[in-house]
């Protein structure tokens, strides 16, 4: 594997995303993550998955530079749908997945974390969906999952301002389970994972399936619409301007087109 390394410790698979400097989520990273899930789902030695990022970030978001190579809106829609399907698979995964978040979980990084069953954060971590700052929108079900966790008013604030929240605030809002110092993040997350790993795999699988019944009835309709708009927004003039400005390290000039 190129972007992930996996170590098994007392029935816990510690999955480390290592794509310096920002652990950006490219299509190749997503495909490799899918491969990792395939392997771990079949492993009788693994009962719980613990996902974290190497270096300064959990994941600072999708790979914006890769977007310049996508030819049209239909391809963007396919990319969005692939990410949505992968994170939906994570949320329905028969083994618990815990995200240990430090540094930043932004854009696609937060969408990845929200696909996990639980999120443990460092107190000073930054979590947010800043896509509108680039003239874009989230594309991996972020518009739907964020609302479920923090409520519609706060989700609207986070989306429309692009302002991130701290790890401590994420706990208060219900987006994360608990916050610890960055120095203790992996230790405490692994402690939780090992506690859960002692439970029956059969009952854990059933519990996860039942938890997913709590989803709002319109979730999948919202996700489908999100994928379509993801393609349309990326190919708009403002979308292209936002990407160009990001790469050229300048402020974007949006025209509403």
Q: Residue for token digits 């389970």?
A: 177
Whole domain around residue 74: which residue ranges? 4-183
Q: Is residue 242 part of a domain?
A: no
pTM summary value: 0.91
Closest CA to 222 of 104, 127, 140, 106: 140
Closest CA to 130 of 60, 53, 79: 60
Q: Is residue 112 part of a domain?
A: yes
Asked if 209 is an active-site residue, the reply is no
Q: Is residue 9 part of a domain?
A: yes
Q: Is residue 232 part of a domain?
A: no
pLDDT of residue 150: 97
At 169-224, the pLDDT tens digits run 999 999 999 999 999 999 999 999 999 999 989 889 988 988 887 776 667 888 88
Closest CA to 14 of 191, 168, 211: 191
> What is the distance between the alpha carbons of residues 26 and 37, in angstroms, rounded to a whole number?
17
Q: Is residue 254 part of a domain?
A: no
CATH number at residue 50: 3.90.226.10
- How far the first Cα of the chain sits from its last, in Å, is 41
CA distances from 202 to 100, 214, 216, 233 (A): 24, 20, 25, 43
Asked if 131 is an active-site residue, the reply is yes
Counting the structural domains of the chain, the total is: 1
Q: Is residue 62 part of a domain?
A: yes
- Catalytic residue chosen out of the listed positions 111, 123, 169, 226: 111
Q: Judge contact between 106 and 127, C-beta under 8 A.
A: yes
pLDDT of residue 89: 96
| pLDDT higher than 80, residue 148 | yes
CA 25 to chain centre: 9
Closest CA to 201 of 96, 69, 77: 96
Q: Is residue 209 part of a domain?
A: no
> What is the distance between the alpha carbons of residues 86 and 242, in angstroms, rounded to a whole number?
26
At 47-91, the pLDDT tens digits run 999 999 999 999 999 888 887 887 788 888 999 999 999 999 999
Q: Judge contact between 253 and 241, C-beta under 8 A.
A: yes
Q: Is residue 84 part of a domain?
A: yes
- Catalytic residue chosen out of the listed positions 88, 123, 131, 169: 131
């Amino acid at each position: 594997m190129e972007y992930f390394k996996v170590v098994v410790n007392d029935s816990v698979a510690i999955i480390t995303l290592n794509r310096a400097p920002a652990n950006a989520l490219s299509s190749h990273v997503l495909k490799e993550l899918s491969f990792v899930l395939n392997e771990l789902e079949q492993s009788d030695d693994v009962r719980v998955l613990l996902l974290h990022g190497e270096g300064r970030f959990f994941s600072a978001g999708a790979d914006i530079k890769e977007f310049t190579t996508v030819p049209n809106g239909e391809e963007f829609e396919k990319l969005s749908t692939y990410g949505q399907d992968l994170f939906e698979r994570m949320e329905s995964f028969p083994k618990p997945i815990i995200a240990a978040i430090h540094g930043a979980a932004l854009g696609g990084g937060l969408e990845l974390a929200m696909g996990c069953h639980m999120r443990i954060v460092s107190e000073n971590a930054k979590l947010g969906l800043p896509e509108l700052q680039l003239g874009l929108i989230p594309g991996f079900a972020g518009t739907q999952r964020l609302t479920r966790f923090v409520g519609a008013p706060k989700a609207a604030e986070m989306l429309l301002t692009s302002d991130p929240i701290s790890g401590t605030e994420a706990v208060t809002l219900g987006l994360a389970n608990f916050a610890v110092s960055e120095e203790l993040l992996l230790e405490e997350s692994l402690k939780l994972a090992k506690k859960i790993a002692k439970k029956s795999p059969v009952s854990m699988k059933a519990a996860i399936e039942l938890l997913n019944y709590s989803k709002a009835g319109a979730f999948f309709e919202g996700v489908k619409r999100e994928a379509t708009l993801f393609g349309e927004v990326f190919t708009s003039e403002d979308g292209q301007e936002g990407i160009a400005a990001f790469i050229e390290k300048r402020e974007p000039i949006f025209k509403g087109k």
